[in-house]
Amino acid sequence: MRRLVYLLLYILLIQAAHAKEASDNNDEVTFKDFTLNIGDRIDLGDYQMELIEIQSVRDGLVVMRVSKVGGSLDEQRALLLDSPNNFDGGAENGGITITVADIFDEQSAKVRIEYQQILGTPRKRASERPAAALDKPELSVQKSFDKNQMSVGDEVKVTITVKNVGTGQALGIKAEDIPPLPEFTYVAGYPPKIKETLDSGQSDSAVYVMNAVKEGSIRVPAILVSYADAKKNAKSNSSEPFNILIRPKSKADLAIKLACYAPIVLDGKGMLNISISNLGTASATRIEADGTVMPSVGLQVTGLGKSFFEILPGADVNYSAKLSGQKPGNYTIRLKVSYDGGDGSVIREGTAEVVVLEREYKYQYLLLIIPIAIITAWMYRRYREYKY
Amino acid sequence: MLNVLMLGVGQCGNRILDAINREAFGGGGAAKLAKYYLRPKFPSRVETLAINTAINDLKELRFTTAKDRMHVANLHGVGANRNVGKQAFMDNRDMIMGEIEKRGDFDIAFVITSTSGGTGSSFSPLLINELKRQYRDITVITVAVLPFREEGSLYLQNAAFSMRELMEVDAEGIILADNQYMKRFSGDIASAYDKINNMIAKRLLFLIESLDSEMLSVTDLGDFKTVMNGGLRIGTMGFYQADSKNLSIKDAIENSLKPVNLLYPANVADDAARAMIIIQGSRELLDVDEITKEVERLSASAGHVFKGIVVKKGRPKVLSVFTVASAPELESIYAQAARGMQDEKEKRSRARKQLDDAFAHIEDLEEIY
Ligand SMILES: Nc1nc2c(ncn2[C@@H]2O[C@H](COP(=O)(O)OP(=O)(O)O)[C@@H](O)[C@H]2O)c(=O)[nH]1
Ligand SMILES: [Mg+2]
């Protein structure tokens, strides 16, 4: 009896398995995922499914058209992301179910097709017509200085260039170049104005002029452009920030060097070499050199005064003055140089110490050596006299 | 100006001569440097000559010029043997006398020597004879140094014999200096020598200076000769310089004759035959009356006394020179020497006898091999 029950159960199980297998082959629902670009179409049996438009990436809305050969079905429907949409009663009932699984961008989306296997195998057919002109504006923005090194007082021109490098019109363009930098005064054209609308490929630029007023190294902040595409999608882009250097105001800076290499013997002559060099960044002009000697008598100096029209930055002028010592002593020669250094008259000084020697008594040392030699010789003689 | 010859013979004589030269440089430590820039300052024309057979003795000298040191080469030196010394002198006589002759003519010569060594004691008598022969009118004074008594019998014997010879030669006289007598000045021999030598040097220089000075009372070389000729022709010298606390001339004269200031133990009162007192000092300190009185007092006991007064700025200095009529100290040396020689002789014959006795043992024996 029990054996019979087992047998019956076994037969039932076998039959159930058979039945399942049979239905699998015929009306089993299956699915397949496709990535579609706009215009791409999937054919499945008599069904044709085409991605018409990505209506909104943000809202997750995709428009698809589903039709059936013969015209019994032709429907264009907006599909919401992740919600199944049945056509012809859906897959369960021999129709199809379409679900938008993912929206990649304004051009493409991932779509899942559910269907009964008897309908066949779905195939993707890429769009034959060129992809419809996309409405995807993209603005590049650039901010540039006409020099990246300048000195206080220099004028600098800033150019803002905005170009639509995308497709479709950019609307409501706004360039914000703020805040104003404290190292500059804004002379003209600020804040910069850019056209509100730029078609694809179009560009616009604005120029403004500033004046550097403070030295230092400055990080120039990015300029931000904000805009929207035709669908009012707001977008923005900014330029790269960069560094500039503002050097101190360029000026002439004269350094004066006086050199007298050897002391002067009494009633002898000497030479004082004078070198005026411009260590500054601007030309020095109207240079007048004149000197004084302290104490004023005893050392005669000629050729100390001189004038030059201009000394270029980095350049120098050299000349020499004649010295003649008339009285022994230490003298100080002070050279005063006045010049126009770029903003007004400047005075620089240089000094040199000059020694006029006492008269030299060349053979003076003999006065010492001779007596010592005589004494030594004398004492040696005496020593010899008593040495036995 | 007197022409003075000073001969230092033998080590002792050399060293006293060196002390004289040192004194001529001013004496003391300063003389060490002075010789490099000064000439010795002698009151007269003084020539010095150090004679020795031992070259090391000559090398030891400091204030005598090299040319004033004469080495008489003798093969093995002379030891303390006076016979070897005499032979050495005779062998080198011409050279020695030639060296002296080079130095010119002389009025007076001092021959300075020890009596007990080898060289000095044997050379000096012969040298004096030669001097007398070579220089007709020369006055020769021997300065003879007696040994420490404990130096040994050989030195005493030499002293005895050389003194006899020195007394026999034709010199004007002998000035004695006795090491034994002056030994009390110092503990160690070396500084005792220096002290003694300086004392002798000082007295001799003072003497020369005085003889060559203008004196208030007439005292000259002739007077000095007369003094030295007195008595045994053996004399000595005393010297005293008054200190600033006592400038009395009378005391100074008495002090110069006191035993401490003499070179040889003699009693002026008892032994002196003739004397000479030379006084030097600032004029105001020299009371002629007092000097005369003092000299007269001395004459009463010491026979004739010459006095000489030299006016020279300074505290009074007194040099007394006198000869003696008797020399007990010298006699005792002879006695001691004779005893020593006797002992030596006995010792020798005893030793000879002992040796002979020893030889007696083998007298009739032959060497057996
Ligand atoms: N006063 C004194 N006596 C000395 C000196 N040198 C040696 N004598 C004595 O002289 C004796 C020895 O004679 P020395 O002159 O050395 O012998 P020489 O060189 O052979 O004549 C000894 O009695 C020593 O005490 C000295 O510098 N001064
Ligand atoms: Mg000796």
Q: What ipTM was estimated for this complex?
A: 0.78
Q: How far apart are CA B44 and CA B220, in angstroms?
A: 14
Q: At what angle do helices B153-168 and B119-134 cross, to 10 degrees?
A: 10
Kindly list the residues of chain B whose beta carbon comes within 8 Å of any beta carbon in chain A.
35-37, 58-59, 61-67, 69
Q: How confident is the model at residue A19 (pLDDT cuts 50, 70, 90)?
A: very low
Q: What's the CA gap between A262 and A247, in Å, rounded?
A: 42
Neighbours of ion ligand 2 (CB under 5 A): B 11
Predicted local confidence at residue B217, as pLDDT = 66
From the list B35, B37, B69, which residue is nearest A388 (CB)? B69
Residues across chain B: 369
Kindly write down the DSSP assignment for every residue of A74-105, as one continuous string.
EEEEEEEBT--EEETT-GGGTSEEEEEEEE-S
pLDDT beyond 60 at A17? no
pLDDT of residue A239: 87
Mean predicted lDDT score pLDDT of chain A: 86
- Per-residue pLDDT, averaged over A233-240, amounts to 86
Instruction: Determine if ligand 1 sits within 6 Å of the CB of residue B77.
Output: no
The predicted-structure confidence for B19-74, as pLDDT tens digits, reads as follows 999 999 988 777 788 888 888 888 889 999 999 999 999 999 999 999 999 999 88
Structure-model confidence comparison of residues A10 and A202, the more confident one: A202
Residue written as tokens 């009372």? Answer: B217
Q: How far is B136 from chain A (nearest CA, A)?
A: 32
| B175-B181-B187-B189 Cα dihedral, nearest 10 degrees | 50
The tokens describing A32, both together, are 């397949």
> Ligand 1 center to residue B27 CA distance, Å?
21
Which is more confident, A167 or A226?
A: A226
Residue nearest to atom 6 of ligand 1 (CA): B12
Check if A381 contacts B (Cβ < 8 Å): no
What confidence score (pLDDT) does residue B23 get? Answer: 93
- Give the pLDDT confidence score for residue A13 in this predicted structure: 60
In this prediction, residues A51-69 reach a mean pLDDT of: 88
Instruction: Tell me the pLDDT band of A264, cut-offs 50, 70 and 90.
Output: confident
Q: State residue B92's pLDDT score.
A: 95
CA distance A310 to A341: 10
Select the residue from A383, A386, A387 to test the B interface by mutation, using most B Cβ atoms within 10 A.
Answer: A386
Burial class (CB in 10 A: 0-12, 13-18, 19+), A171: middle
For tokens 């014997």, the residue is B157
Q: How are beta strands A203-212 and A216-220 bridged, if at all?
A: unpaired
Structure confidence by residue, pLDDT tens digits, A301-324: 999 999 999 999 999 999 999 999
Q: Please give the pLDDT value at position B216.
A: 66
Closest CA in chain A for residue B70:
A388
Q: What is the DSSP string of B54-121?
A: -HHHHHT-SSS-GGGEEE---BTB-TT-HHHHHHHHHHHHHHHHHHHHTT---SEEEEEEESSSSHHH
Residue B226 in contact with residue B306, Cβ under 8 Å? yes
Give the C-alpha distances (Å, rounded to integers) separating B219 from B223, B227, B255, B277.
6, 11, 21, 9
Q: Which of A241-245, A261-265, A293-297, B319-323 has the highest mean pLDDT?
A: B319-323
Give the Å distances, CA to CA, from B2 to A268, B18, B36, B277.
67, 21, 26, 19
CB B354 within 8 A of CB B303: no
Rounded CA-CA distance A211/B343 in Å is 138
Q: For residue B75, what pLDDT is reported?
A: 64
The token pair at B331 is: 């006699």
Q: Given CB atoms, is A383 within the 8 Å cutoff of chain B?
A: yes
Rounded CA separation B239/B261 (Å): 6
Query: CA of B250, closest CA in chain A: separation in Å?
Result: 43
Say if A387 is an interface residue toward chain B (CB within 8 Å): yes
d(CA A339, CA A252): 9
CB under 8 Å to A192, separation ≥6 — which residues?
Answer: A158, A160, A175, A177, A206, A207, A208, A223
Instruction: Return the structure tokens found at A139.
Output: 């603005």
- At residue A22 the predicted structure's pLDDT band, cuts being 50, 70 and 90, is very low
Phi then psi dihedrals of residue A339, to 5 deg = -160, 170
Percent of chain A with pLDDT over 90: 31
B16 alpha carbon – ligand 2 mean position (Å): 13
Total Cβ atoms within 10 A of residue B7: 29
In this structure, are residues B20 and B47 in contact, taking their beta carbons and an 8 Å threshold? no
Q: Does the distance separating the beta carbons of A388 and B37 come in below 8 Å? A: no
Q: What is the pLDDT of residue A23?
A: 45
Which atom of ligand 1 has the smallest separation from the CA of B85? 20
pLDDT tens readout for residues A336-387: 999 998 778 899 999 999 988 887 667 778 888 999 999 999 999 999 999 9
Any atom of ligand 1 within 6 Å of the Cβ of B10: yes
Q: What pLDDT is stored for residue B123 in this prediction? A: 96
Q: Which atom of ligand 1 is nearest to the CA of B179?
A: 1
Contact criterion met (CB < 8 Å) for A386 and B69: no
Residues across chain A:
388
Most confident of A36-40, A279-283, B161-165: B161-165
pLDDT of residue A2: 64
Which atom from ligand 1 is nearest to the alpha carbon of B122? 21
Burial class of residue A78 (count of CB atoms within 10 Å of its CB; 0-12, 13-18, 19+): middle
pLDDT at A74 over 60: yes
Closest among B75, B100, B129 to B7, alpha carbons compared = B100
Residue type, A179: P
Distance B187 CA to ligand 2 centre (A): 19
- Determine if the pTM surpasses 0.95: no
Distance (Å) from CA B149 to ligand 1 centroid: 13
Characterize the bridge pairing of strands B139-146 and B173-178.
parallel
- Tens place of pLDDT per residue across chain B (369 aa): 889 999 999 999 999 999 999 999 988 777 788 888 888 888 889 999 999 999 999 999 999 999 999 999 886 677 889 999 999 999 999 999 999 999 999 999 999 999 999 999 999 999 999 999 999 899 999 999 999 998 888 999 999 999 999 999 999 999 999 999 988 877 788 889 999 999 999 999 999 998 888 766 657 888 999 999 999 999 999 999 999 899 899 999 999 999 889 999 998 888 899 999 999 999 999 988 999 999 999 898 888 899 999 988 999 999 999 999 998 889 999 999 999 999 989 999 999 999 999 998 988 888 888
